[in-house]
Structure 1
Amino acid sequence: MTMMAKLNKTLTRLFQRLDSAPSPVDERLSAVLQEWLDRRQQLIAPSPKALIFPGSSAADQGFIFQRDPSAPRRYLLTSGANSAEVLIGEVSTGDHLETARNRRGAVRLRRLFDLVGETGEPILALFGTKSAEGKSVYVELLVAPLSSNGKNIDAFLSCVSSRQVASAATKTVPHWIQPTPLLFAFESSKHLGERVAAELGLSLSPIEERVFEDGEEKTRPLAHVRGREVYVVSGLERSGSLSVHDRLCKLLFFIATLKTNGAARVTAVVPYLAYMRKDRQTKEQDPLNSAYVARFFETVGTDCLITMETHNLAAFQNAFRCHTMHVTAYEAFAAFFANLPRSAKVSVVSPDLGGAKRADMFREVLEKALHQPIGKAFLEKQRSQGVVSGDLFAGDVKGRVVIILDDIISSGTTMARAAQACAERGAAQIWLCATHGLFSKDAAVGLAAPFIDGILVTDTVNIGELHRGDKRLTVIPVAALIADAVAQCHESAAG
C-alpha cells in the first residue's frame, strides 16, 4: 500500500479491497462475484434484492442466508435452496443453518459467515472433500456480504463449485485432500462426543475399554489410526466411580497408544480441563499442577489441546508448549440474556478479583447483544484452609439484574457468597452463570438461597440428578462450539 493510500481514507479502503479480492477459478463463481462487485459500488454491501432477480448469476447459482436477529451466529436460508444442497445437504427455504443434514458443510459455512461479517469483504474458500460417491473432489466456496439496510452486514450470498480431482486408477490425490478425521470418545464422555460428532457430520469411532480384576485398565482404538488425524473427546471431571486422576491417566494412555500405532496428529478435546486452578504458588512449596498437566500431555505426544473456559487463560497459555485452542461460551450466555426487558439495567459481577478479566470480556459481548451499556462489579475473596473471607465490594448493583460470572461452580460457596453480597446491596434479580457446573454434594444447600433467581451452566460436564431437578437451572448446549473448534483445527492441519 502506498503512502498516499495510507493518508487517504478512500484509497485505503480501495487497496484493502484489492488486497483481499478473491479470484475464483470456476467461471460461474466469477460471474457471481462480478455481479456482486457491480452492485456494491460505494455501498457497504449490496442488498439481497439487488442481486436476486430473474436471469442474474446470483439467483441462478447462489443462495442467501439471513442473520437471525433473535440469536447470534444463527442463520436462516431465504433463497437458493437447490444451490445450497451441494454443500449442506437437502434444505428448504426458511430452515436454519444449524438444522442442515451435512453438519461439516454447515460448520464450514457458519465460520465463513462469521469471518465475512467481521471483515465486510468477500472470501473464497478452497478445500478438498469427498463426494456422496466417495470420490475426492475440489471445492470452491464463495461467500460475500449483503446489507438489507445499507448499514449492517445482515445477510450472506454464497456460491459453490466442485469437481473431481482424482480417480481410483491413478491413486494420485493432491496434498490438500485430507482423509476424514477420526473422532473417539470414552464411554464417560459419550453424551458430549456423540453431539460433537453429529455437528461435524461424523460418527464416533469404536474403542475397547477394559477393566482388569486388579483395577488396571486397557483402552485401544478399534479403527485403524496409522497416518490419520485423530480427535479424542474426554472431560476430566469426576464421573461415577471414575476420579479426576482416573480419567486423566486413561486419556493420556490412550493418546500415547494412538501415537504408538502411527496416528499422524492427535488432538485432545477436553471441555473441562482439571487441575488448572492451581497455577501459581500461593503458599510455601505449593505445587504447580497446571504446568504438570501440560507436561503430561506433551510427553505422550499430544499435538493440540482444545478446552473451554480454563481457570486462568494466561497461565494456561504459558503452561502448554503444544498448540492449544481456548473456547468460551460468552455468546451463548449473552443470547440467553438477550430476552431481558429493554428497560432492565444489568451488571456483570465477578465473585473475586482473579475473575475480573473474564467478567469484563463477557460484559463486552453482552453489551453487543443487548445494545446497551452494562455495569460491572467485583468482590474481594481470600481462601485459606478452605475458609473464604474478604469484605471489599466495588460496583453498583442496586435495582439491577445481576449476572455473577465464574468459570466453575463446584461447592457453590464462592457464588453463594457473591449472591448474598449483591442481595444485601439491593439487586433486583440475581443470576449465577458458569461454564462448568461441577456441583459437589454440598452445592445444593449452598445455592438454595431464595434470592438466587436462576443458575446458568453449559453441558461440558454431566449434571447430576440432584441438581438437574432444580427448576432454576438452565443448561446451555455447547457441542456446536466445540465442533467449530475441531473444524478449525482440522482445516489448519490440512492447510
Structure 2
Amino acid sequence: MTASSENLFSSESSAAPIGIIAMNSVTELGNKIDGYLTDWSKLAGYETDSFLIECECPRFSSGDGKGLIKSTVRGIDLFIIVDVGNYSIKYDYFGMQNAMSPDDHFQDLKRIIQAASGKAHRITVIMPTLYGGRQHRRNYRESLDCACALQELEAMGVSNIVCFDAHDPRVQNAVPLMGFDNVMPTYQVLKAMMKQINDIDLSKEKFMVVSPDEGALNRNMYYASVLGVDMGMFYKRRDYSQIINGRNPIVAHEYIGNPVEGKDIFVADDIISSGESMLDVAKNLKEKNAGRFFAYATYAIFTNGLEKFDKAYEDGIIDGVFGTNLTYRTPELLSRPWFHEVDVSKYIAYFIEAINHDVSISKIIDPHTKIETLLKKYGIK
C-alpha cells in the first residue's frame, strides 16, 4: 500500500461507504479487487472483512429473470463490476443450458441497478469490455447499440462508467454529462512483460513496436514513445468489391516503417478475436527476419480456438501473447505456454479508491511516471 492509498482512506475525504457488486461474470476479478481494498482499509485503521455485496439474478423456468441484492445499499457508494463478454455463464431455458450473451449480461446489470431502487449514494459501473463497443459508428441503416446502452444507463441513474481500451472511446459523446473513463493498462502490460520475459531487451537496437493497423496506431505510438524505440505499422488492404460477414475482406497486410531485422517485436491491439490478422502480421514480420514476436491484446478471446496459435508457437512465428484478466479466459488458454496474463485488479482498486474519495484520477490514467520508474528499475533508462 502506498502513502497515497492510505491518505485516500481517510474518513474526511470519503464520499460514502464503499460497496462492490461483482456480477457472476467477474467473481474472480471481484475477489481480487476486494482483497486489495480490504487490506488497504485495515492498514488505514478500518476493520472490514469485505466490501462485496451479495446479489444474484435468478431466472424462472420460462427464461424470465430478476435482480436481487441481499443487503442494504442505502447511502452506499456502489460500484458494479460486470464482464459482458463472459460466455461461460449458463442458465436453464426450457430444459436447455443457454450460454449468456453480452445482451444477457447487460440486462442483468440493469436488473441489479433496478434492485438498488435509487437508494445508493452513487452508482459507478465498471464494464471493462464496453457493451456494444465494436459497433461504434453508423454505416447505412444500422443500430448504434453502445450509444443507446450508455444513454439507458445514464437514465437509470448511473453516474460514472469505467471501461478499458474501448474500441472507439468517442462513443462517450452519446452521454456528455455522465462520467466516462477509458483506461489503458499500459503500465501493467510493460510490468508483466519485464517480469515474465526474463531476457527481454527493450533498447532501441534490440526492440521495436509495430502497429497492426491504422486503428491501433495511437496505442502503439504510446508504447514506442515511453520506451524510446522505433515504430512501424501495417495497413490493411481490403477488397471493397464484396462484403463477407458484414465487412470488406482483407486482401493483404502491407508494412510501412524501419527495418525489423534482428529486433524483438511488440504489437498491441484492443482485441484478438479470430486472431487471423495478428498471425498474418507475425508471419509477415518473420519473413522480414524479425526476432521474437510478442503480441498483446486487452481482450484475448480467441473466438476460433487456440489451435492456430499453438501451431504458430511451435513453428516459431509467435513467441508470446499477453492478455488481461478483464474478461473470461478459458482454462485451456491459461495453460498455454505462450500465453502471459496481465493482472489489472490492483489498478481497478485504485480507481475505486479515487472515485470514492472524489480525488483526481489524472495520475491513475496517465502512468508515465510509474513507467519511468519501472524502466529505471530494470536499468533501461
Q: Give TM-score, length-normalised by structure 1.
A: 0.61
Q: What are the equivalent positions in structure 2 for 1:40-439 lying under 5 Å apart?
A: 97=1, 106=2, 109-110=3-4, 128-129=10-11, 178-201=15-38, 202-240=50-88, 241-258=99-116, 260-281=117-138, 283-313=139-169, 315-321=170-176, 322-338=178-194, 340-341=200-201, 345-365=206-226, 367=227, 373-381=228-236, 384-386=243-245, 387-396=249-258, 397-439=260-302
For 2:253 and 2:345, locate their aligned partners in 1 and report how far apart those are by CA, in whole Å.
38
Deviations 1:6-60 (A, max 9, x none): xxxxxxxxxxxxxxxxxxxxxxxxxxxxxxxxxxxxxxxxxxxxxxxxxxxxxxx
Preserved CA contact (<8 Å) 1:235 1:461: yes
For 2:244 and 2:106, locate their aligned partners in 1 and report how far apart those are by CA, in whole Å.
26
Query: How many residue pairs end up in the alignment?
Result: 322
Structure 1 residue 334: Cα displacement: 1.5
| DSSP-derived class of the 2:57 partner | strand
Say if 1:280 and 1:345 are closer, same or farther in 2 by CA, change over 3 A: same
Q: Report the equivalent of 2:332.
A: 466
| DSSP-derived class of the 1:492 partner | coil
Preserved CA contact (<8 Å) 1:349 1:378: yes
For 1:274 and 1:414, locate their aligned partners in 2 and report how far apart those are by CA, in whole Å.
23
Deviations 1:153-210 (A, max 9, x none): xxxxxxxxxxxxxxxxxxxxxxx55442111112221111111111111431111331
Say if 1:177 and 1:427 are closer, same or farther in 2 by CA, change over 3 A: closer
Deviations 1:308-328 (A, max 9, x none): 111123x13323331012222
Say if 1:493 and 1:182 are closer, same or farther in 2 by CA, change over 3 A: farther
Say if 1:458 and 1:360 are closer, same or farther in 2 by CA, change over 3 A: same
Say if 1:399 and 1:286 are closer, same or farther in 2 by CA, change over 3 A: farther
- Larger CA deviation: 186-195 vs 333-342: 333-342
Say if 1:210 and 1:391 are closer, same or farther in 2 by CA, change over 3 A: closer
Say if 1:242 and 1:347 are closer, same or farther in 2 by CA, change over 3 A: same
For 1:476 and 1:110, locate their aligned partners in 2 and report how far apart those are by CA, in whole Å.
23
Say if 1:298 and 1:447 are closer, same or farther in 2 by CA, change over 3 A: farther
Preserved CA contact (<8 Å) 1:325 1:485: no
Q: 1:441 aligns with which of 299, 304, 310?
A: 304
For 1:464 and 1:406, locate their aligned partners in 2 and report how far apart those are by CA, in whole Å.
20
Say if 1:466 and 1:382 are closer, same or farther in 2 by CA, change over 3 A: farther
Q: For structure 2, which runs of at least 5 residues remain unmatched after alignment? A: 39-49, 89-98, 361-381
Preserved CA contact (<8 Å) 2:118 2:157: no
Which of structures 1 and 2 has the larger relative contact order (alpha carbons within 8 angstroms, sep 6+)? 2
Structure 1 residue 342: Cα displacement: 5.9
Deviations 1:214-266 (A, max 9, x none): 111112211111222100111110322211111011112212332x2411210
Preserved CA contact (<8 Å) 1:272 1:461: yes
Say if 1:456 and 1:217 are closer, same or farther in 2 by CA, change over 3 A: same
Q: Report the equivalent of 1:149.
A: none
| DSSP-derived class of the 2:58 partner | strand
For 1:280 and 1:457, locate their aligned partners in 2 and report how far apart those are by CA, in whole Å.
26
For 2:189 and 2:224, locate their aligned partners in 1 and report how far apart those are by CA, in whole Å.
11
RMSD (Å) for aligned C-alpha atoms:
2.3
Preserved CA contact (<8 Å) 2:102 2:131: yes
For 1:248 and 1:126, locate their aligned partners in 2 and report how far apart those are by CA, in whole Å.
31
Structure 1 residue 402: Cα displacement: 0.5
